[in-house]
């Protein structure tokens, strides 16, 4: 009897140890990546203070001037525009699929949403060049210039070519929409049917039930869906690189070109490595991108916890 129990105990302990090891593998991998990027960034940090690198606006590697502020601002600007466009539309689309659409409509639309998630980023980039960029340059920018001139951030400050923060944000919004819709729909469908029926039985309309019951009950999941989309937009490279213009400047409006950190790394790594500190500067750009993503993910997790605590109260 003891001989039979002992191997089972050993198997259980081995399985537990393996699970613990795998659980720590991903955080350790992230820490290792951060340490590796930090070590590769040390040469440029020895010759320049981090504050100067983050606040300087000039990017001239041939002259040894590395200013990261335009790239940081471009990254955040494109991401925010994408989320402002995608979050309301995707949440309403998820609400429709979960609350109002019939089974046949849901069966038809859900595979199409999943199909959007599988399209390569370069295809979205080509769509942006052929459709979004001309639309922004020919129609949206002139309309904003004539009707929104009193809002500097929403109107062109110079001739708009179409390659802009707005074009990048629109393409990114399309790219992240299937992820936000899928997670948000799952969160809404996880609400027990009895909760909706209790609201309807008290005389509430379908919209009132969705607004005051479903959306509040699924709020943590909806915030998580938006967080997922936000993280996705921060790390996107190819599609943004193709439509955002790639000009190292501080944008004055959403119709100006920008240069996100991801595009900087993709465009320059492997080229001009003979320039002193250029390789280290790109490693520092990668480290900055990692820090920005980690910061916003941590802030989002705190927001989710606060929403869950408030919902529990």
For residues 169-177, average pLDDT: 92
Give pLDDT tens digits for 136-158.
988 888 888 888 777 778 878 77
Residue 220 neighbours by CB under 8 Å, 6+ apart: 187, 304, 307, 308, 311
In a domain, 215, yes or no: yes
In a domain, 280, yes or no: yes
Is a pLDDT exceeding 90 seen at residue 62? Answer: no
Using only C-alpha atoms, the chain has a radius of gyration, in whole angstroms, of 24
Place of tokens 């509430």: 204
In a domain, 41, yes or no: no
In a domain, 204, yes or no: yes
**What is the per-residue pLDDT for 82?**
93
Give pLDDT tens digits for 24-61.
777 788 888 888 888 888 888 888 888 888 888 888 88
CATH number at residue 128: 1.10.3720.10
Residue 20 neighbours by CB under 8 Å, 6+ apart: none
Count of CA atoms in the C-beta half-sphere (13 A) of 145: 14
For residue 280, name the pLDDT band (cuts at 50, 70, 90). confident
Q: CA-CA distance, 99 to 91, in Å (whole number)?
A: 12
* Residue 262 near residue 253 (C-beta atoms within 8 A): no
Is a pLDDT exceeding 80 seen at residue 203? Answer: yes
Is a pLDDT exceeding 90 seen at residue 171? Answer: yes
Give pLDDT tens digits for 232-266.
888 888 888 899 988 888 888 899 899 998 888 88
In a domain, 56, yes or no: no
**What is the per-residue pLDDT for 6?**
54
Number of structural domains (the chain) is 1
Structural domain including 128 reads 69-312
| Secondary structure element (H or E) that encloses residue 256, with its range | none
In a domain, 62, yes or no: no
In a domain, 168, yes or no: yes
| Secondary structure element (H or E) that encloses residue 213, with its range | none
In a domain, 272, yes or no: yes
Average pLDDT of the chain to the nearest whole number: 84
């Amino acid at each position: 009897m003891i001989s039979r129990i002992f191997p089972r105990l050993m198997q259980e302990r081995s399985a537990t140890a393996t699970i613990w090891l795998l659980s720590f593998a991903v955080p350790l991998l992230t820490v290792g990546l951060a340490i590796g990027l930090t070590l590769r960034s040390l040469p440029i940090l020895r010759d320049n203070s981090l504050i100067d690198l983050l606040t300087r606006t000039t990017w001239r590697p041939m002259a040894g001037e590395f200013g990261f502020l335009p790239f940081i601002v471009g990254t955040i600007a494109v991401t925010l525009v994408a989320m402002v466009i995608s979050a309301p539309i995707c949440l309403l689309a998820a609400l429709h699929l979960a609350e109002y659409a019939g089974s046949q409509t849901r069966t038809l639309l859900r595979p199409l949403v999943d199909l959007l998630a599988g399209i390569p980023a370069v295809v979205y980039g080509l769509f942006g060049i052929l459709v979004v960029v001309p639309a922004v340059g020919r129609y949206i920018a002139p309309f904003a210039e004539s009707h929104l001139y009193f809002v500097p951030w929403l109107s062109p400050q110079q001739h708009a070519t179409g390659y802009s923060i707005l074009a990048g944000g629109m393409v990114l919004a399309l790219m992240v929409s299937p992820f936000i819709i899928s997670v948000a729909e799952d969160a809404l469908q996880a609400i027990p049917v009895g909760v909706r029926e209790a609201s309807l039985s008290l005389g509430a309309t379908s919209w009132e039930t969705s607004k005051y019951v479903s959306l509040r009950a699924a709020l943590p999941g909806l915030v998580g869906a938006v967080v997922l989309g936000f993280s996705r937009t921060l790390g996107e490279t190819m599609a943004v690189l193709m439509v955002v213009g790639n000009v190292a400047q501080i944008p004055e409006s959403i119709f100006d070109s920008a240069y996100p950190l991801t595009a900087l790394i993709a465009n320059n790594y492997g080229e001009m490595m003979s320039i002193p500190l250029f390789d280290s500067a790109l490693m520092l750009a990668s480290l900055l991108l990692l820090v920005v993503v980690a910061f916003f993910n941590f802030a989002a997790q705190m927001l989710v916890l606060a929403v869950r605590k408030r919902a529990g109260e």
